Amino acid sequence: MQNMNGLPQPRPSDELKAQIKKLEHLEHRTPVTPALEGFDAETEALIGKLYGPTHPYLEAYAYASLAEAEALVNLPESAQEALTQDRPKTAVQQRRQVLLGIVIELQEMEAQEASLLMGEDREDPPGYS
């Protein structure tokens, strides 16, 4: 995708993939850090920019950050859960799952857009395809 000045802009799916990579780096640290809070703010701002401030993805991400997103986005639950859950680890896993779901949807839309744009560059007159 390019802007009016001809400079390439990152695709929305690439921006979210970068967030997922950041999350994987943060996951190896204690999940209750200011860095993770900053990550959440940055991610919510990105989702809001892509979809608007009232989109359900923002709510799903907020619940994922609290490890409460299973019911919202149909996340699979372990068949044999431990009696004491590791909420911070679960929250990181749910963040990743919500972001991956958004990336998959964006990639499908980007592929659809690219295929539609490819059809517009034909030189043949209408009806000669």
pLDDT tens digits along 53-84: 999 999 999 988 887 766 565 555 554 455 45
The pLDDT of residue 85: 61
Q: Assess contact for 15 and 26: CB atoms under 8 A.
A: no
Q: What DSSP assignment string belongs to 16-83? A: HHHHHHHHHHHHTS-SSSHHHHHHHHHHHHHHHHHH-TT-HHHHHHHHHHTT--HHHHT----SS--S
**What is the domain partition of the chain in residue ranges?**
12-71+87-119
Average pLDDT, stretch 101-108? 93
The pLDDT of residue 31: 53
Between CA 15 and CA 29 the distance in angstroms is 22
Assessment of whether the complete model's pTM goes beyond 0.85: no
Q: Assess contact for 110 and 13: CB atoms under 8 A.
A: yes
